[in-house]
Structure 1
Amino acid sequence: MPRDVQYAHDGTRMRGLLFSTPGVSGSPTIVLVHDAFGLNGHTLETAERYAALGFTVFAADVWGDRLTPQAESEIGPLIGGMVGDRARWISRIAAAHEAAAAQPEVDASALVTIGYCFGGSSALEYLRTGGRTRGVVSIHGGLDLLAPDWSGARTDARVLVCTGADDPMATREQRAALETAMTGAGLDWETDLYSDTKHAFTNPSSSHSPMPHVVAYNPRSAARAWESTTRLLGELFPEIKEKNHA
């Protein structure tokens, strides 16, 4: 069972969840940053899936008090509030990393950040502004939300961007700008680009989106993103990979 981890940021109570193997301490850890819908069932299933690989997983609470918005009318102001105050946004992602690092199950020197949709944007922004992480995986992240200056990024992190060729929130121009910026910052990066793939392609509930021209589930692309992500995790943490193949 996951363990509740309460922490705070800017007067807001945050309620993260820690998934770990009983009795494990000092483990390589994934800081998982949720999409616009918060720590809902799909995100928690994703956390469990990563934990099954042998990682400790800290599911961050970005909205606070474990809010799980249900309607687009709720989501716009939440994302807009973060993008409109980037210092607050990045501080909130940093607070999640600090809360994760403070847990006894976690090796604070072996954190990797994985985010989906808004969480993917958050993971990239955390790295862009100097966040301490071994690696970042952005899966269908909104590249339209990113700021351009990567001069403060740490250069010892690996970056994987998994995105759809038909995602209007990650256009060809936005991808090119991000890649140019990461190259200029000296980062080791990779972009996996999937054909016939829109935004939020890993989430089966996207099949029922009222905006099918923007959002759509693509199981083949979802499987490819998972394979690429687990490959990178195995390269960053070979001890976990060896344990899984023992």
Structure 2
Amino acid sequence: MTQLNQRDVTYRCGSVELVGYLVTAADLPQPGPAVLLIHDAFGLTRDMRAIADRLARLGTSVFAADVWGDGQTFSSPRDAETMIGTMLQDRSTWLARIDAAAEAASQQPEITGPPVALGYCFGGSSALEYLRTGGRLRGVIAIHPGLDLLAPWGDPTQTDGWLAGASVLLCCGADDPMATASQREQLVQSLSASGVEWELDLYSDTKHAFSSVALESAPPNDVIGYNARSAARAWNATLRLLHEVFPQWTAPDSEPPITT
């Protein structure tokens, strides 16, 4: 198995200390392109770190952000929802913390150039909002993002042209109440108007948070649920987009597509 170099990285946003996680393959030529991983509502958990490790073993550096601060994570959905509500009430702080993570990533000696942001749930919303507000990203991969959290896109003629160079991959469940058909349509129209190259992968019989294995044994409900097939398809799509944006990254050829 590929050996990894792993370390926590402490950085700040205003008065708040944040604790990110940097992981690279031990034999990775340095410096190189990176993925900025933005966690879901529960924070930079063991599951999020495992995603970072998995990508690093495939040949890319990964900087996992800490949006909640002080490395805190949540096990209670109610606590996680409360934190999201706090960020929505203070969107400038929310986006400042994403920007602080991107800046911290850029300062690491293993990393060069703007990253691709990969976000899950709240993290996908965060990545899209950061791109919308001028964050310098090569691309965004948003896995079951909450499109209901996004602010309206402004006049694309007022951007500095950076948006037009970005690629966006949206992986959504067809039955996700947090990413409805009208919300998806509104977003892709805004992306097109801004000159962003986008792809929408829509999975049938799939709800919100479909990649979360922790939900596999959860009682059924109308909002969230694990879907192994959709999770595998989203992962394969993630690898493909990373290979397109970072041509020097050949990982997709070294890992067969996941099937269920």
- The residue type equivalent to 2:79 in the other structure is E
Matched, 1:163 2:168: no
Distance 2:168 2:72 in 1: 28
Q: Which residue number corresponds to residue 182 of structure 2?
A: 173
Question: Given that residues 27 and 110 in structure 1 are in contact (C-alpha distance below 8 angstroms), is that contact kept between their aligned partners in structure 2?
Answer: no
- The residue type equivalent to 2:60 in the other structure is F
Distance 1:214 1:239 in 2: 39
Question: Given that residues 58 and 251 in structure 2 are in contact (C-alpha distance below 8 angstroms), is that contact kept between their aligned partners in structure 1?
Answer: no
- The residue type equivalent to 2:213 in the other structure is P
Q: TM-score, normalised by structure 1?
A: 0.95
Q: Post-superposition shift, 1:41?
A: 1.5
Question: Given that residues 176 and 207 in structure 2 are in contact (C-alpha distance below 8 angstroms), is that contact kept between their aligned partners in structure 1?
Answer: yes
Match of 1:205 among 195, 199, 214: 214
| Deviations 1:41-60 (CA, angstroms, capped at 9, x unpaired) | 11111111111110000010
> Which secondary structure does the structure 1 equivalent of 2:33 belong to?
strand
Match of 1:29 among 22, 31, 34: 34
Match of 1:220 among 214, 226, 229: 229
Matched, 1:88 2:93: yes
Distance 2:46 2:245 in 1: 28
Distance 1:214 1:243 in 2: 32
> Which secondary structure does the structure 2 equivalent of 1:5 belong to?
strand
Matched, 1:236 2:245: yes
Question: Given that residues 117 and 139 in structure 1 are in contact (C-alpha distance below 8 angstroms), is that contact kept between their aligned partners in structure 2?
Answer: yes
- The residue type equivalent to 1:163 in the other structure is C
> Which secondary structure does the structure 2 equivalent of 1:15 belong to?
strand
Question: Given that residues 27 and 56 in structure 1 are in contact (C-alpha distance below 8 angstroms), is that contact kept between their aligned partners in structure 2?
Answer: yes
Q: Post-superposition shift, 1:244?
A: 5.2
Distance 1:77 1:125 in 2: 19
Matched, 1:49 2:54: yes
Question: Given that residues 15 and 64 in structure 1 are in contact (C-alpha distance below 8 angstroms), is that contact kept between their aligned partners in structure 2?
Answer: yes
Q: TM-score, normalised by structure 2?
A: 0.90
Distance 2:221 2:142 in 1: 21
Q: Post-superposition shift, 1:219?
A: 0.5
Matched, 1:19 2:23: yes
| Deviations 1:122-176 (CA, angstroms, capped at 9, x unpaired) | 0000000010010100000000000112434622110000000000100011101
Q: Post-superposition shift, 1:209?
A: 3.8
Q: Which residue number corresponds to residue 190 of structure 1?
A: 199
Q: 1:211 to 1:91 in 2, by over 3 A?
A: farther
> Which secondary structure does the structure 1 equivalent of 2:249 belong to?
helix
Match of 2:141 among 137, 144, 169: 137
Matched, 1:71 2:99: no
Question: Given that residues 144 and 209 in structure 2 are in contact (C-alpha distance below 8 angstroms), is that contact kept between their aligned partners in structure 1?
Answer: yes
Matched, 1:98 2:107: no
Q: Post-superposition shift, 1:243?
A: 9.2
Q: Which residue number corresponds to residue 64 of structure 2?
A: 59
Q: 1:197 to 1:242 in 2, by over 3 A?
A: closer
Identity across aligned pairs (percent)?
A: 50
Q: Post-superposition shift, 1:242?
A: 7.0
- The residue type equivalent to 2:120 in the other structure is Y
Q: 143-152 vs 119-128, which deviates more?
A: 143-152
Q: 1:73 to 1:243 in 2, by over 3 A?
A: closer
Runs of 4 or more consecutive aligned structure 1 residues displaced over 6 Å after TM superposition: none
Q: Post-superposition shift, 1:30?
A: 0.3
Q: 1:242 to 1:214 in 2, by over 3 A?
A: closer
Q: Post-superposition shift, 1:208?
A: 3.7
Structure 2 stretches of 5 or more lacking a match? 255-260
- The residue type equivalent to 1:125 in the other structure is E
Q: 21-30 vs 128-137, which deviates more?
A: 21-30
Q: Post-superposition shift, 1:87?
A: 1.2
Structure 1 stretches of 5 or more lacking a match? none
**Aligned positions, number:** 244
